[in-house]
Amino acid sequence: MLTRKQIELLKLIQTRMDRDGVAPSFDEMKDALDLRSKSGIHRLITALEERGFIRRLAHRARAIEVLKLPDVLTKSGFEARVIDGGAAPKAPKPKIGLPVEASALSVPVMGRIAAGTPIEAISERVSDIAVPGSMLKSNSTHYALEVQGDSMIDLGINDGDIVVIREQTSADNGDIVVALVDGHEATLKRFRRQNGMIALEAANPAYETRLLRDDQVEVQGRLVGLIRSY
């Protein structure tokens, strides 16, 4: 299920692609959706990509490929399929990107993860959080972590967000992973293999990419969802 803003953005991208052959810029998206900053667009784009509706093409400006459209875009109006998080437009929204669904499952929150300078790994259960079943893969173990830092902000991952992680020990290039560095430092970064090394890339120009030997990095999970509280 997509939120109203996600559907509006997907419709905008598809319309502009059909008309101009290129996706709108982030500034155009921000203005069209009446958002105050481009970080909101980053979050929407990331959510659409994670749900398989779009794909961003590497090394090409404004290169977005629409992979599929929800049924709601072939009908008139959004009401039948959109869960907006609140009944009235100005009502407080306790969670963003978290539709209310009967299949919500409890996932353990295992402390904090650094999106910045790596911090000591934390592996102690501190609480639990309800996560939509559609965000989770069956027959897999999942856990959640609170983000600390701003190194992934350009991908819409902000300080204080809760990231949902699927436990796994391998990663593909471009995956956002929980990486354990030198056996004790945990960080959330984009994973790439580069010239025989492993690159842990930030999504903030203020942070440099870290190049590490294969034996220095242990993948502990892959990002599958994000929860934000207001």
Q: Among candidates 79, 80, 105, 83, which has minimal Cα distance to 95?
A: 83
Q: How far apart are CA 185 and CA 181, in angstroms?
A: 5
Cα–Cα distance between 174 and 193 in angstroms, integer?
9
Active site residues: 151, 189
Cα angle 136-141-146, degrees, rounded to a multiple of 5: 75
Rounded (10°) CA dihedral 46, 34, 98, 192:
10
Local structure of residue 209 (DSSP, 8 states): P
Say if CB 88 and CB 81 are below 8 A apart. Answer: no
Backbone angles phi, psi at 222, to 5 degrees: -125, 140
